[in-house]
Amino acid sequence: MIVFPQLVTGASALYPVLKARRKRTVVNVLGDGSTDVFSDNDAALVEWELHATGMTGAEWNAIDSLLQQVSGRWQTFTFLDPTSNLLAESETLSSSAWTKGALVGLTAGVVDPLGTTRATTLTNTGSSVAGISQVLPVPGNFQYCLSAWIRSSGGSSVTLSAGTNSQSVSTSAVWSRVALAAGGGSSSASTVIFGLQLPIGGAADVFGLQAEAQLAPSDYKVTGVSGGVYPQARFALDQIPVTARGTDVYDAVIRIVSPENT
């Protein structure tokens, strides 16, 4: 799997990170002087500018190796957006992006910790542990963090899982944001399963499921039909100027572009 490398600290990027969306409008001038104007959605692009200051030699070499591997702008790679939630449909757990157990019930429209009604109640009426999960096309050996707000008046526990890592957390009648830091998976794996499991007969209110390529959760970002995984990303330039400020200290500004996820 060709993917933009993660920093040795487990972070997905050095900050600041600038992100922009670019859309194209087509203007057709007719013979009578009138114009037709329409949006060219197929030309929509997302662009990131990573101000990578203070990289180690190993970190810069990994980025430079990727640049050589894909021949600058020529070939694509997978980029995990450091400003986004990697999961799709983060608040629509009944969507096809999620896989749920056959006897797991979903009740949407529950009051969430932000005071709106975007949470969902999960109920496991089966005879085995079950829940919901989502498979992402991301490298198995990255560091990840899965987080969510959980509440359960019955005191039911839930288990967060990310790849080969899992953690059981106790719940209460008060909303609490819980997180699982995961890493150390197989370097040959090109997918990771993120999920939340309930014990037999368990029930819990869930809100704000979020996966990120870093060690701890950031502010929650709601997602729609696509998340922050961009499999068709490219470098914006064939070369990346780099400055060596000292022994094992490198600075560079890295620009990456990708078609907008749809």
| 162 vs 100: CA distance, rounded Å | 15
pLDDT value of residue 262: 64
Q: If pLDDT is split at 50, 70 and 90, which confidence band does 61 have? A: very high
Which residue has better confidence, 196 or 156?
A: 196
In the block, tokens 């019955």 appear at 154
CB atoms within 10 A of CB 115: 7
Residue 38, pLDDT > 80, answer: no
Closest by CA to 151, choosing from 168, 174, 170, 128, is: 174
Check whether 40 has a pLDDT greater than 90: no
Q: Dihedral of the CA atoms 84, 87, 90, 93 (nearest 10)? A: 180
How much of the chain, in percent, has pLDDT values that exceed 70? 99
pLDDT of residue 29: 83
Distance, CA of 1 to CA of 259 (rounded, Å): 19
Can you give the pTM of this predicted structure? 0.90
Q: How confident is the model at residue 178 (pLDDT cuts 50, 70, 90)?
A: very high
Q: Which range (11-15, 79-83, 141-145, 196-200) has the least confidence?
A: 11-15
Is pLDDT of 83 > 90? yes
Cβ proximity of 255 and 45 under 8 Å? no
Asked whether residue 192 carries a pLDDT value surpassing 70, the answer given is yes
Q: Where do the domains of the chain lie, and which CATH numbers do they carry? A: 17-83+229-259 (no CATH), 99-212 (2.60.120.260)
Per-residue pLDDT reduced to its tens digit, 204-251: 999 999 999 999 999 999 999 999 999 999 999 999 999 999 889 999
Higher pLDDT, 38 or 139: 139
Q: Is 40 helix (H, G, I), strand (E, B) or coil?
A: strand
Q: Which residues of 169-189 are buried (b: 16+ CB within 10 A; e: fewer)?
A: eebeeebeebbbbbbebeeeb
3-state secondary structure 200-217: CCCEEEEEEEEEECCCCC
Average per-residue pLDDT for the chain: 92
Q: Is the pLDDT of residue 75 over 90?
A: yes
